Structure 1
């Protein structure tokens, strides 16, 4: 393959690789928070301050006073709905002033339904505990039709992460708990989009990326309990990911036909850090009040850095954001507990930088749940959430073959409309 051909393949791959960690989810941008059914029932309003195995993702200190063993397993069915609508997207091919992108102007329900599993296990002496959680904090699948107006920005996307968090925690004095953990995270991504040929009379070309890699971050937290009040503070670090894989381009015609082929590729990006503050207050023997604030360090996802031979960076320009949640636990009797909560989360995407692969926006999360203690050692949890997303513009300009003489800008003008999601979850906790 010639140097010119390689340069054009890499240029075509640039816009694709820039989407490596993108996706729509249910906490913020491409982060999934459904790692505890108990927590979901109160809209994740008390997790950093609560104790036991189900809070280990938010605060590793939560397991410090475990005596014996605890384990939990969860599964969440995520059912998103919504429309991604074209309001006048234009393709500017070389030598033209631009023309309508064409294709189906409405993409309905482009984010696939899915099932999100998670679980954890821990063992402790009452003052010292060891545990491990397995979660999938960044996972999604989107599927736009081949004739969608968004096809040059997004076609099919599949992102899967596995986060393994080994944890140690201890309680130096009664009521004080401290914990730390490593976050060993694997990413596996398959992403694709269509490419405009130089004439609108020709069918589209296509490009796809496959990549994967392992990287490491850390978590730390502290909890303090005095009387009916529990306070928790925790921090989860950003993780810099490196994906190694390949980019394949096919279907280009005419002067672009020589650019079809496969080339090795590597991209680096960072997930956000999280700083969590949580309070739980036992107002009565039956009623516990919860509140939680999370600051997300999405500004870490500011660029996608591409390695040799391209050696360039693509701006993402995410901003730090917040979520706020309040909720209750109400113990009906020693075996049965009810929960409810509300959460508001702001999007880290900007109104001038949002694309169809990340149709994210501010959202409200309304949740309810319950737990039933079936025996001394087994509890069953259930929860349901309805998430309402604000309508938002999709208008991030991209370009096929960026940086070459055939650069083809895509002037995106669309909107996310009527978006919502149901999340239905079941889980079990076991003491041993």
Structure 2
């Protein structure tokens, strides 16, 4: 469907828990667009110019690259989720580890047009997640499987006004795909008589709801970079919100009370329940939030460089997931709040060929405790990173990085009339292994 529907899956999936990418940023936002930046935990993302990944970090930074170059790589994410103290109205298991190992790729290109004008192009994933619980997961009535993939293509221009100041602007074309599934409780089936009284004739087993769709939409990014002193750089980048109107399909299998009742002479309308699958068009409108990114980079001397940053994501616009369809109402309240991410990092130039990096990030969750769900059972997190860059020749650099992500224990308690109850404590950790190659020509 359109991005709206995807965000539905996305949002729901987002709420679903630590997606591979979710382990790196609040909710289902991803930070895996640069391995050189990963080494400092994203500190200095908008003010440090290392390679072509600056196209995403701050388009204004392209002006400080004096050669054409291409950077490509990826981050391998592995997530470990333990579920403890689980209880609920349904029976079932709580195995955890519902996030599969995932690789998030990216690629960037920068081409100087003249001394003051640069062109750049980036392909990356700003949002995404996959959560897939076991078949008899105890909380399956609140969420079973969630999958969201967002791919962005970003053509960009930067202008260098002086040796101290530059600005950049880029359009973003965003493609989203997603799927959301959940089980539904079984119940009595039968018919209504002429007086409106219900007569049961049997019991239906558990049902299933599957919603999927895709969309594409445009956004933009802009940035500024200022060097008031030779060794100090300030950076600001803004990534706009993106509005999606997803269109897709919703499938209902063995779901009680779906569709139009069948009228039986002498009995009245019979409740439509069965194993047959009923499919309908579905629509979802959703807005993925804007991000404001501020950072500073300071070169202490020829070897040491310090970086710090703060980024705010306007998650408060994400209030609910509402899937419009002709069969059954699907609404999940989110009520997110704006969140901040704070990071510090350093780089040490060991020699002409090697640079070593490290960084630490504190990442606030946008999810309020009262609205935490099995779809996104996450809380505040701390990210510690190590990295290194190797330049064996002037034209080539290889960067590697490792990040360890630890979340505060996330407790959730859900209760709905048609879904029952489910309570549990989630303990989420993740590891990220990144590698990228930059070639200059």
Same fold (TM over 0.5): yes
Pairing 1:244–2:247 present? yes
Pairing 1:154–2:143 present? yes
TM-score, length basis structure 2? 0.85
Pairing 1:184–2:184 present? no
Which of 347, 356, 367 is 2:385 aligned to?
A: 367
Q: Which has more radius of gyration?
A: 2
Q: How far apart are residue 253 of structure 1 and its match?
A: 6.3
Once residues 39 and 353 of structure 1 are traced to their aligned partners in structure 2, the CA distance between those partners, rounded to angstroms, is: 32
2:57 equivalent in structure 1 = 58
Cα distance change, pair 85–126 in 1 and its aligned pair in 2 (3 A): farther
2:196 equivalent in structure 1 = none
Q: Residues 319 and 336 of structure 2 are in contact (CA less than 8 Å); yes or no, is this contact kept in structure 1? A: yes
Farther off after superposition, 225-234 or 51-60: 51-60
Pairing 1:42–2:58 present? no
Once residues 18 and 261 of structure 1 are traced to their aligned partners in structure 2, the CA distance between those partners, rounded to angstroms, is: 24
Which of 380, 403, 412 is 1:385 aligned to?
A: 403
Over residues 14-43 of structure 1, what are the superposed CA-to-partner deviations in whole Å (9 max), with x where a residue is unaligned?
A: x97972654431211101101100000011
Pairing 1:342–2:341 present? no
Pairing 1:227–2:230 present? yes
Aligned length: 398
Once residues 10 and 300 of structure 2 are traced to their aligned partners in structure 1, the CA distance between those partners, rounded to angstroms, is: 51
Pairing 1:326–2:344 present? yes
Once residues 202 and 149 of structure 1 are traced to their aligned partners in structure 2, the CA distance between those partners, rounded to angstroms, is: 19
Cα RMSD (Å): 2.2
Once residues 120 and 413 of structure 1 are traced to their aligned partners in structure 2, the CA distance between those partners, rounded to angstroms, is: 44
Once residues 278 and 18 of structure 1 are traced to their aligned partners in structure 2, the CA distance between those partners, rounded to angstroms, is: 28
Which of 12, 15, 18 is 1:19 aligned to?
A: 12
Q: How far apart are residue 72 of structure 1 and its match?
A: 0.5
Q: Residues 144 and 150 of structure 1 are in contact (CA less than 8 Å); yes or no, is this contact kept in structure 2? A: no
Q: 1:195-274 residue pairs with structure 2 within 5 A? A: 195-198=184-187, 203-225=205-227, 226-252=229-255, 255-257=271-273, 260-274=277-291
Farther off after superposition, 249-258 or 208-217: 249-258
TM-score, length basis structure 1? 0.87
Once residues 156 and 306 of structure 1 are traced to their aligned partners in structure 2, the CA distance between those partners, rounded to angstroms, is: 16
1:31 equivalent in structure 2 = 29
Cα distance change, pair 153–275 in 1 and its aligned pair in 2 (3 A): same
Once residues 409 and 225 of structure 2 are traced to their aligned partners in structure 1, the CA distance between those partners, rounded to angstroms, is: 38
Which 5+ residue runs of structure 2 have no aligned equivalent?
Answer: 1-7, 189-201, 258-270
2:104 equivalent in structure 1 = 116
